[in-house]
Amino acid sequence: MQLWDDGAMGKAGHSLRYVLQNHGISQNRLAVVMEVNRSTVNHWFSESRDPAAEAIPRIVDALIAINPAAARDFVELYLGRSLEELNNL
Q: How would you write the pLDDT of the chain (89 residues) with one tens digit per residue?
A: 434 344 445 789 999 999 999 999 999 999 999 999 999 999 999 988 889 989 999 999 999 999 999 999 999 999 887 877 766 66
State the pLDDT at residue 89.
Answer: 63
- Cβ within 8 Å of residue 7, ≥6 positions away: none
Does residue 2 lie in a domain region? Answer: no
Does residue 6 lie in a domain region? Answer: no
Does residue 5 lie in a domain region? Answer: no
Does residue 3 lie in a domain region? Answer: no
Q: How many domains does the chain have?
A: 1
- Cβ within 8 Å of residue 48, ≥6 positions away: none
Please give the model's pTM, rounded to 2 decimal places. Answer: 0.82
Domain that holds residue 76: 11-87
What CATH number is attached to the domain comprising 56?
1.10.260
